[in-house]
Amino acid sequence: MANINIIDVVAVLMMITSFAVFGLRQYRHSIQAYALQTLLLVIIFLALYFKYGTHELLIWAGTAFVIKVLFVPLYLMSLVKKLGLVVEDEPVGGFFISPVVALSFSLAVAMMLYKVFIHFSLFQDVLPLYAASFIFMMGIFGFILRNSFLKQILSYCLFENGIHLSLALMAYSSHELVEIGILTDAIFAVLIMSVLAKRFYAAYGSLDTSKAVNLRG
């Protein structure tokens, strides 16, 4: 029991929540899973700070908590409430096949990527590096397999959390501008995509991007 590494445990929980963000049909539950995952990301920052004495990660934890645990989920919740959304539109391959495909390929690709990342990482923590790759890939497959505009926003957030975790493990000593850039990207990307989602919903009466057939060609 004493040998359990809290960072490894939290990394596994982050992988589980990324699958929940991808797979849960109700928008509110999916957003709550994202908020929980980002809280776990903050806990990893703090654990790395206490384990290695990395002052930079203490600052990362504080800013990530305010922006990604509080602001982004609350903003997305307000968007869901404003549009009166409850359940996600049918994804590519259906609600059963889509998560199976994403989970299988994300596990396989993460198995290859973490072996590359570990050569460049400042921290030689294998499981968190594997989790970072897995979360990154779940975000990629979210873009590919989910038709819902809101789920694609959440997929971007997963993608961004994977990058944030890998950066903390590989280059926590980067200049403060790097951290500011990541968080600024997260805010503006979510805001811009939310505006586009509202306009899409006003035009098509749905967030199902497959209905925009008149944009093809």
Mean per-residue pLDDT over the chain, rounded: 87
What's the token pair of residue 46?
Answer: 């703090």
Q: Is the pLDDT of residue 198 over 70?
A: yes
pLDDT at 143 exceeding the cut of 90: no
Q: What is the pTM of this model?
A: 0.89
- Phi and psi, residue 123, nearest 5°: -100, 130
User: Rounded to whole angstroms, how far apart are CA atoms 208 and 146?
Assistant: 9
Half-sphere exposure of 165 (CA within 13 A, CB side): 36
Given its phi and psi angles, is residue 94 left (phi above 0), alpha (psi -120 to 50 degrees) or beta? left
CB distance 65 to 16 below 8 Å: no
Tokens 């590919």 map to which residue?
144
pLDDT band at residue 8 using 50, 70 and 90 as cut-offs: very high
CB 193 within 8 A of CB 145: no
Mean of pLDDT values over 161-177: 83
What's the confidence (pLDDT) of residue 9? 94
Query: DSSP secondary-structure letter at 208?
Result: B
Provide the terminal-to-terminal Cα distance of the chain, rounded to the nearest Å.
59
At residue 135's C-alpha, the angle toward residues 55 and 50, to 5°, is: 20
pLDDT score at 79: 93
Q: What is the pLDDT of residues 44-57, one digit of tens each?
A: 999 989 988 888 88
- Is the pLDDT reported for residue 216 higher than 60? no
Cβ(107)–Cβ(134) under 8 Å? yes
**pLDDT at residue 3 in the model:** 57
Residue 158 is predicted with a pLDDT of: 94
Joined together, the tokens standing for residue 22 give: 């991808």
Of all residues in the chain, the percent with pLDDT exceeding 70 is 95
**Residue of 76, 15, 18, 6 whose CA lies nearest to 44:** 6
Please give the average per-residue pLDDT across 57-61, as a whole number: 88
Query: Which pLDDT score is estimated for 154?
Result: 94
Q: What is the pLDDT of residues 78-111, one digit of tens each?
A: 999 998 888 887 777 777 788 888 899 999 998 8
33-44 pLDDT, tens digit per residue, is 999 999 999 999
Q: Of residues 5 and 93, which shows the higher confidence score? A: 5
Query: Alpha carbon of 208 to those of 143, 163, 198: distances in Å?
Result: 12, 27, 12
For 126, half-sphere exposure in the C-beta direction (CA atoms, 13 angstrom radius) is 3
